[in-house]
Structure 1
Amino acid sequence: MTDPSWIAVDAMGGDEGLAVMLAGVARARRRHEEMRFLLVGDESAIAAGLKNHPNLSQHSEIVHAPETVEAAEKPTQAIRRAKTTSMGIAIDLVKRGRAAAAVSSGNTGALMAMAKLALRMLPGIDRPALAAPLPTLGDNDVVMLDLGANTECDARNLVQFAIMGAAYARIIFDLERPRVGLLNIGSEDQKGTDEIRDAAHTLRETANGAVGGLPLDFTGFVEGDKLARGDHDVIVCDGFAGNIALKTAEGTARFVADLLKRAFSSSARSKIGFLISRPATELLRDHLDPNNHNGAVFLGLNGVVVKSHGGANELGVATAIGNAAKLVSANLTRRIADDLGAIRQAVA
């Protein structure tokens, strides 16, 4: 049986380098003292870096990997080197039961391809979906999926994403019945593609209907300008729309932050205003900081694989690792499998 305290970390992935990865792992260890780590990558480089983190050294092991996956490398090329790269070996540790989860900041396409090939899909799931929490004005963040793993999806895929997203939201937000909506161009029933309308029909019948039993509340369609209102706990879409929505939200957050910075530095009076409003602006900065929401998970795999943002800092890496540990302890894969069984029974 896999020890849930062990997390495999691709120490060589990420734009910021090994030092930031190790600092993030050490920070995660301080937050979660029960965790232990398999640090995968160049053995000599990791050993040298661990000298700066003596506490981490006592609770980790180094797994040597002679190669790394390049940021621009094609998934088909990366798969051929899975047995020798830090990313591929980290995933293989999950497959072999040495680790309960794998975390990487590397190439997203390669990570998905390797994970899908090595771990396989859960029974009843056709495709993995990339899901992550995004900030809102509500009491909790909103889980959005798919964020780019599948550019085209049919109704069956969208229903599966809804089930997986709800299971994920129940764990990270501690909710009994997450509110699930489908991203669409309008809230009216006749809006959208056939795939979206068919998925909505299935979710209404199996979640809200008398034959249901799924632990979620399907709220219907949601438009793009309502993503951050806090009215939903899960928003489902295909990977094409989801990735555009994610990048737009990240760009808007940077735009607002840069605009405030420019406004507060425009004059002496503005600088005084900044000092007065500093507590509020720092709260806004922390709420929009992607490092506080880092850690997208590939839902639907027979194992936990978390993608950390390539540009994440120490805080972001620690957040992604903590997210992985929480999903392991809550047995995410079993919850998804149970919900899939419920919908199959309801449809039958």
Structure 2
Amino acid sequence: MSLPRIAIDAMGGDEGVRVMVEGAALARRSHDNFKFLLVGDQAQIEAALEAHPGMRDASEILHCDDVISGDEQPSKAIRRAKTTSMGLAVNAVKAGAAGAAVSAGNTGALMAMSKIALRTMPGIDRPALAAILPTLEPHDVVMLDLGANTEADARNLVQYAVMGAAYSRIVTGFEKPKVRLLNIGTEEIKGTGALRDAAALLTQACARDEGGLALDFDGFVESDKINRGETHVVVTDGFSGNIALKAIEGSARFVTDLLKHAFASSIRSKVGFLVSRPATELLRHHLDPNNHNGAVFLGLNGVVVKSHGSATAKGVANAVTVAARLLEDKLTQRIAYDLSELGEAAFKKNGSGSPDSAGEAAA
């Protein structure tokens, strides 16, 4: 199947052009129909392409030597959207020159540029950042929001649930993914007013005989159960989601470092490492963030994927593959259809026509 080109911000990330081009080339080895618009310094890109001759016929270079730094404020970055590699990659999606954009650069700047250039979809108030996390089960879990918005009301959380479920159907294959709201407990009385109101709205929307959502709302989940595989989608605000994500990543690094120290502590431990090496290698592979790299800005009129700044070529390849898969499976169209099924009626509570009134009253 022929796919639209994927615009690559070749200057983003800790390693820059070399890793971004190598990652794109690695992705193309498994998917020879991928085509790219490589945005960045032409001389550096051409030098990187020397190591990947098969990429030349599949790539076009858009020269740009202006780069958004990792610590640049989004409010300043957006003023250079038309001159930077990140901004030009996103604008290529807006102009139809590419179907999706991938960047490993400044997350806040990428979010701001993407929102301004592509705008949010009808029915979405705020886009959300979603990522795939490993679980103990064969399927992964989709989690959002992971930092695009620090606060979320009940309406936002319901929209996140719809978007997360649409994304989950693509990556997990489940027709009605199980969705839960992140909370401090699983009891119905726990949590903020926004959480309880969102739970009531999702329960009501899923229970409708006709036009019910293509998801299975299953109440609340606590943070220690995110990776257990008991749910397919975890929904929260960006503040809590970012804290939870970094806690999970930190715990993974702690476990791997602890094992390294334990196995190096004595001769007996080193022998034990050799015996248990197949199991430890499986653990290392499962916890490697490069295998799940590629967070997605959901709710925009276009596909934008954020690669981790420290991602290896393998991680970049995974992010590129995520972008291609979302194009192939028509993510934005799926979200639009599900939103039409939800309808404004789902936000009315106790006869109120204001979507936000329930959350404000319960606060």
* Normalised-by-shorter TM-score class: over 0.9
Task: State the match for 1:72 in structure 2.
Answer: 71
Unaligned runs of 5+ in 1: none
8 Å contact 1:208–1:217 — kept in the other structure? Answer: no
1:328 is the counterpart of 2:332: no
**% identity of equivalent residues:** 64
8 Å contact 2:23–2:315 — kept in the other structure? Answer: yes
What count of residue pairs does the alignment treat as equivalent?
346
- Could you tell me which amino acid in structure 1 is paired with residue 267 of structure 2? A
Distance in structure 2 (CA, Å) of the matches to 1:17 and 1:43: 13
Distance in structure 2 (CA, Å) of the matches to 1:276 and 1:5: 48
Task: State the match for 2:108 in structure 1.
Answer: 109
Distance in structure 2 (CA, Å) of the matches to 1:119 and 1:274: 51
Distance in structure 2 (CA, Å) of the matches to 1:162 and 1:62: 38
- Could you tell me which amino acid in structure 2 is paired with residue 71 of structure 1? G
Task: State the match for 2:216 in structure 1.
Answer: 217
Task: State the match for 2:9 in structure 1.
Answer: 10
Distance in structure 2 (CA, Å) of the matches to 1:31 and 1:85: 30
Q: CA RMSD in A?
A: 1.1
Distance in structure 1 (CA, Å) of the matches to 2:333 and 2:211: 19
Task: State the match for 2:231 in structure 1.
Answer: 232
8 Å contact 1:164–1:336 — kept in the other structure? Answer: yes
8 Å contact 2:66–2:85 — kept in the other structure? Answer: yes
Alignment of 1:1-348 (within 5 A): 4-210=3-209, 213-344=212-343, 347=346
Distance in structure 2 (CA, Å) of the matches to 1:134 and 1:209: 30
TM-score (norm 1): 0.98
**For each residue in 1:106-149, what CA deviation from the matched residue of structure 2 results, as whole angstroms up to 9, or x when unmatched?**
00000000000000010000000000000110121100000001
Shift of 1:232: 0.4
Shift of 1:209: 4.1
**For each residue in 1:277-319, what CA deviation from the matched residue of structure 2 results, as whole angstroms up to 9, or x when unmatched?**
1000000000000000000000000000000000000100000
Distance in structure 2 (CA, Å) of the matches to 1:346 and 1:82: 38
Distance in structure 1 (CA, Å) of the matches to 2:196 and 2:344: 22
Distance in structure 2 (CA, Å) of the matches to 1:116 and 1:309: 19
- Could you tell me which amino acid in structure 1 is paired with residue 114 of structure 2? A
Distance in structure 2 (CA, Å) of the matches to 1:208 and 1:232: 19
- Could you tell me which amino acid in structure 2 is paired with residue 335 of structure 1? R
Distance in structure 2 (CA, Å) of the matches to 1:9 and 1:20: 11
- Could you tell me which amino acid in structure 1 is paired with residue 215 of structure 2? L
What secondary structure is seen at the aligned counterpart in 2 of 1:306? strand
Task: State the match for 2:351 in structure 1.
Answer: none
Shift of 1:4: 2.8
Shift of 1:48: 1.4
8 Å contact 1:4–1:99 — kept in the other structure? Answer: no
Shift of 1:211: 5.3
Shift of 1:345: 6.7
8 Å contact 1:206–1:346 — kept in the other structure? Answer: no
- Could you tell me which amino acid in structure 2 is paired with residue 84 of structure 1? T
Distance in structure 1 (CA, Å) of the matches to 2:229 and 2:51: 41
What secondary structure is seen at the aligned counterpart in 1 of 2:343? helix
Shift of 1:331: 0.4
What secondary structure is seen at the aligned counterpart in 2 of 1:48? helix
- Could you tell me which amino acid in structure 2 is paired with residue 6 of structure 1? R
Divergent runs of 4+, >4 A: none
**For each residue in 1:246-265, what CA deviation from the matched residue of structure 2 results, as whole angstroms up to 9, or x when unmatched?**
00000000000000001111
What secondary structure is seen at the aligned counterpart in 2 of 1:14? coil
- Could you tell me which amino acid in structure 1 is paired with residue 15 of structure 2? E
Distance in structure 2 (CA, Å) of the matches to 1:208 and 1:173: 23
TM-score (norm 2): 0.94
8 Å contact 2:3–2:33 — kept in the other structure? Answer: no
Distance in structure 2 (CA, Å) of the matches to 1:174 and 1:61: 33
